[in-house]
A = this chain, B = another copy of it.
Amino acid sequence: MANREPKPTINDVARLAGVSKKTVSRVINNSPLLNDATRDKVTAVIRDLGYVPNPQARALALRRNFLIGLIHDNPNAQMVLSVQEGMLDAMKGTEFALVVRPVDRKSPQLFDDIRHFIEQQRLYGIYVLPPVSENDEVARLCAELGCRYVRMGSARLDDEEHLVESNDREAVREAVDKLIRDGHTRIGHVAGPDGFRSAREREAGLREALLAHGLSLPDELRASGNYTFESGYAAAKQVLSQNPRPSAIFAANDEMAAAVLHAALEQGLEVPRQLSILGFDDTPIGAHIWPPLSTVRWPIRAMARSAAFKLIQPDRAAEHKSFFRSELVERASTAPFKG
């Protein structure tokens, strides 16, 4: 284990530089009222000693800390990791650190868990991902605890200071509109879980597009999953067992779209010749399966970056973007319908 030599403190720096603690503190905090010579002297000592201010002590004195939390209960690993990357991108070079905490949104202790997470580490702010973010109680809890928060959503959840959101509904409407113009009239849907706003928005986009062309979503061509591959697989089997089969299926996320593809290939269907599949998310899995998935790209990383900025610069929260555009990415899993 070796040398546990105590790290140099502000006192060591002060002593060696022949100045007071306060002066060192001024140097650390870039105070303007300081003689250049003094500043250089202190800076030199800091460098020589390899001094790094103790963040715990700073946090104590400043009555705030530098931890940003990420709360999620999301079956989509790639999405969560993209979020982490986006947040860290914004936090790079600052003294903030990212603390993660998956929760169970169905647990009766959800709120206790979140409260505990925030209070225990005295978090400075948290970013909440869907579906947890769709729960208004969570926002209330944060406000009550005096913890800054930003929610990620697919529809209006809160005011701009506290959200980053994307236009799922419109994007889906446009993507489905294209399918219809390509000749598809019988379109199935593997929906997201009931009660998820993102699921409702995406389904609404689908229905709006259908309606605009005088079409509709037959009940038997709709089944819902919970955004996991397995649930999507079950839903896909159900929808594909209908007669006549749909010529296209829109799945509420890529994971479930991959499951639709899986089920279709398993039944010997040719994709996209016999079945077009449209996903949502643009996660790597979509690009990696064969045929590669047409999907709606959601700027998750950029949203996370913006969210982190809002959290660490609360006074300038409004300057950072809140509304993001999702857009269609066409790949090989969709094709015009040839009756």
Binding site for B on A (CB under 8 A): 1-5, 7, 52, 54-57, 59-60, 65, 67, 77-78, 80-82, 84-85, 88, 95, 97-102, 119-122, 143-144, 146, 229, 255, 258-259, 261-262, 265-266, 284-285, 287-290
A77 touches which one: B7, B65, B81 (CB < 8 A)?
B81
A229 touching B3, Cβ below 8 Å? no
> Which B residues are CB-close (under 8 A) to A122?
54-56
> Which B residues are CB-close (under 8 A) to A121?
55, 97
> Which B residues are CB-close (under 8 A) to A99?
67, 97-99
Contact A146/B3 with A55-B122, A88-B102 known, Cβ cut-off 8 Å: yes
Q: What is the chain B residue whose CB lies nearest that of A79?
A: B77
B289 touching A289, Cβ below 8 Å? yes
B77 touching A95, Cβ below 8 Å? no
> Which B residues are CB-close (under 8 A) to A78?
77-78
> Which B residues are CB-close (under 8 A) to A119?
7, 52
Q: Do most interface residues of chain A lie in helix, strand or loop, or is the interface mixed?
A: helix
Q: How far does the Cβ of A143 sit from chain B's closest Cβ, in whole Å?
A: 5
Contact A102/B77 with A60-B56, A95-B120, A265-B290 known, Cβ cut-off 8 Å: no
Most B Cβ at <10 Å: residue of A56, A80, A85: A56
Q: What is the chain B residue whose CB lies nearest that of A82?
A: B77
Q: What is the chain B residue whose CB lies nearest that of A266?
A: B290
Q: 5 A-B contacts, Cβ less than 8 Å apart?
A: A1-B146, A52-B119, A77-B82, A97-B121, A259-B288
Contact A229/B288 with A85-B102, A143-B1 known, Cβ cut-off 8 Å: yes
In the bound complex, CA of A74 to CA of B161 (Å): 33
In the bound complex, CA of A229 to CA of B265 (Å): 21
Q: How far does the Cβ of A53 sit from chain B's closest Cβ, in whole Å?
A: 9
B54 touching A143, Cβ below 8 Å? no
> Which B residues are CB-close (under 8 A) to A143?
1-2
In the bound complex, CA of A7 to CA of B121 (Å): 13
Q: Which A-B residue pairs are the 7 nearest by beta carbons?
A: A56-B59, A77-B81, A265-B290, A52-B119, A77-B78, A4-B146, A56-B60
A262 touching B289, Cβ below 8 Å? yes
> Given A67-B97, A85-B102, A98-B101, 8 more contacts at CB 8 Å?
A1-B143, A2-B143, A4-B146, A52-B120, A54-B122, A97-B121, A255-B288, A266-B290
> Which B residues are CB-close (under 8 A) to A55?
120-122
